[in-house]
Amino acid sequence: MSKTYKLQWTTNAKDDLLNIVGYIKQDSPRKANDIYLKIRTKAKSSNFFPLKGRVVPELRKEGITLYREVITSPWRIIYKIGNNTVFIMAILDSRQNVEEILLQKLLKG
> Which tens digits make up the pLDDT trace of 26-42?
999 999 999 999 999 99
Mean pLDDT, range 9-18, rounded to an integer:
95
Residue 98 pLDDT exceeds 80: no
Cα 13 to Cα 5: distance, rounded to the nearest angstrom: 18
Residue 55 pLDDT exceeds 70: yes
Cα 89 to Cα 79: distance, rounded to the nearest angstrom: 5
- CA 66, chain centre distance (Å): 13
Cα 86 to Cα 95: distance, rounded to the nearest angstrom: 25
- The whole-model pTM stands at 0.86
pLDDT, one tens digit per residue, over 75-93 is 999 999 998 899 999 999 8
Sorted by where each starts, the structural domains of the chain and their CATH numbers stand as: 6-108 (3.30.2310.20)
